[in-house]
Amino acid sequence: MLTPLLADTNFVDATWIMIVKSLVIFIVLLTIVPVVLLAERKLLGRFQQRYGPNRVGPYGALQPLADVGKLLSKQGFRPKGAVPYLYEIAPAISIFAAVVTLAILPFGDVQGGVGLYGVDLPIGILYFFAFGAIGFYGLLLGGWASGSKYSFLGAMRSAAQLISYEIAMGLSLLGVVMMAGSLSLVDIVKAQGDIWFIFPQIVGFLIFMVAGFAETNRVPFDLPEADAELVAGYSTEYGGMRFGSYFFAEYMEILIISGIAATMFFGGWMGPGPPVLDPIWMLAKMLAVTFFFIWIRATLPRFRYDQLMSFGWKILLPIATLNVLVTAVLVVVT
Amino acid sequence: MSISPEEIKVVPRGPEPGGAGGAYRAFGETLRGLRTTMGRMFEKPVTIQYPEEKTPVYPRFRGRHKLHRFEDSHLEKCVGCSLCVAACPADCIRVVAAENDPEDRVSAGERYAAVYEINLARCIFCGYCEMACPFDAITMGHDYEMADYNRSDLIFTKEMLLAEPLERTPLRGEGE
């Protein structure tokens, strides 16, 4: 089944290696999510001159465990007006789409006969957009199937926002793709041997980051779940581990956007030191971008809804288009 | 009333939002905001870790009441006059007076308080009882951690009010 799809990739592993790799990537990223969760709360605290959680375990290190324990012990409740199956499936769709996207993040080149990535797809970055789009169904269906006005409004807002910013995001990465001449993330990293793409593609990078904040429903684009205004947006009626799934998927999204940013703009796994350090470099760059996400959250207030829409369509989209055009001309000329 | 032209002050207005200039300024302001938050990160948190650390209270802080004894004779200062009961606006003090036995005196006066109860669930910590007391037998202490699981546990008896508090509340010096 997969063979025609993988026909012209650089390198294909044996099946058992693929299975081991997918497990390793999943487990590593799964353990990073609670760390990011805790780091966010600690850092937000520091940004606001507080300590953040420091009661559970040394320096509050066990706080995520306590949170998960609490969520797991909650009753699995379904509101009366909810659509039975969709209500239960929606968080799973979200989490599925988030986890699946991990496959294409490259943590290193082929080393010792093993490619340090889930799979090197020839369609590369398109795969990321495809599963990002599927992830929206999780939010949309969840909000709609809850049978609540608040959830529904939140879901509609998310839909409008995510669709608007998806376009700018796609266009912002197009410049990088044109410069690298490939959609494959491994090839894109290799093309950054001389210079990281953040320098020639600084406009693309800024657009990508802004759109990335919007795609992950982060401040200043957290209107879908605006705590103060919308109760909790699409996840209003969710509790227990179903809410936990949404939460987990959201942080996974942040990690993935950070990973994509590190890959596309910061030279992915490239860094000084022996090739063994490559995955470490990739992770470090990912976490640095994640830190930026948290930093922004501590800094900016929320957009108004009309500002959000006009910013996406009137500013980001034209700039992204212009960026693509100029890049295209320059690539052809040089 | 009309305003003369000299009285009108012209306040310089900020540039209009929107447009390319607005976007440029918004970008600059965002960077300024990022610098501000990053600066806060390297400062010490202002949090006081409450149960472990406590803010010292002022000397005149009105906390939980205390009943006093004379330091030399160890007799109770309270003579059961019930003036505090009369002064109490929340009606939370109950005093039942009894005659002192000359052989085994409880207080220094003729009578003493056989029952002295303060319902701290009702007390508003106004300090009128302290002011009404002619013998300085009751004063407002510095304790403020009086949470409990039962309302009935908040009715403090004479023995509880006479005893030293279990834990001393940190006290701020005068003018500190």
Q: What is the ipTM of this complex?
A: 0.77
Number of other residues whose CB lies within 10 A of the CB of residue A292: 16
Instruction: State pTM to two decimals.
Output: 0.81
Our CA-based measurement puts residue B35 at a distance from the nearest CA of chain A, in whole angstroms, of 9
Is it the case that residue A128 has pLDDT exceeding 80? yes
Number of structural domains, chain A?
1
Q: What is the share, in percent, of chain A residues with pLDDT greater than 90?
A: 17
What residue ranges in chain A does DSSP mark as E strands?
Answer: 106-111, 114-117
Q: What is the share, in percent, of chain B residues with pLDDT greater than 90?
A: 39
Residue B132: predicted pLDDT: 94
Residue A25: CB partners within 8 Å, gap ≥ 6?
Answer: A102, A103, A105, A107, A118
| Interval A129-145 mean pLDDT | 87
Domain boundaries defined on chain B: 15-46, 65-162
Q: What is the share, in percent, of chain A residues with pLDDT greater than 70?
A: 95
Supply the angle between the helices A240-265 and A278-299 in degrees, to the nearest 10: 110
| Interval B48-67 mean pLDDT | 88
Chain A residues closer than 8 Å to B33 by CB: 299-300
Q: Is B37 near chain A, with CB under 8 Å? A: yes
| Interval B15-25 mean pLDDT | 77
Q: Is B17 near chain A, with CB under 8 Å? A: no
Chain B residues closer than 8 Å to A295 by CB: 34, 37-38
Residue B137: predicted pLDDT: 92
Q: What is the share, in percent, of chain B residues with pLDDT greater than 70?
A: 97
Tens digit of each residue's pLDDT (9 = 90 or more) over A221-231 = 887 776 666 67
Residue B147: predicted pLDDT: 87
Chain A residues closer than 8 Å to B46 by CB: 49-50
Residue B114: CB partners within 8 Å, gap ≥ 6?
Answer: B80, B96, B97, B98
Q: Is A43 near chain B, with CB under 8 Å? A: yes
Closest CA to A295 of A4, A47, A21: A47
What is the CATH number that goes with domain B65-162?
A: 3.30.70.3270
Chain B residues closer than 8 Å to A300 by CB: 30, 33
Mean pLDDT of chain B: 87
Q: Is B33 near chain A, with CB under 8 Å? A: yes
Tens digit of each residue's pLDDT (9 = 90 or more) over A141-162 = 888 888 888 888 888 888 888 8
Partner-chain contact B47 A295, CB within 8 Å: no
Q: Which domain does A171 fall in, by range?
A: 77-333
Q: Is B46 near chain A, with CB under 8 Å? A: yes
Our CA-based measurement puts residue A116 at a distance from the nearest CA of chain B, in whole angstroms, of 35
- Which is higher by pLDDT, A2 or B23? B23
Q: Determine, yes or no, domain membership for A268.
A: yes
Tens digit of each residue's pLDDT (9 = 90 or more) over A91-115 = 899 889 988 888 888 888 877 777 7
Tens digit of each residue's pLDDT (9 = 90 or more) over A250-293 = 899 899 999 999 999 998 888 888 888 888 889 899 999 999 99
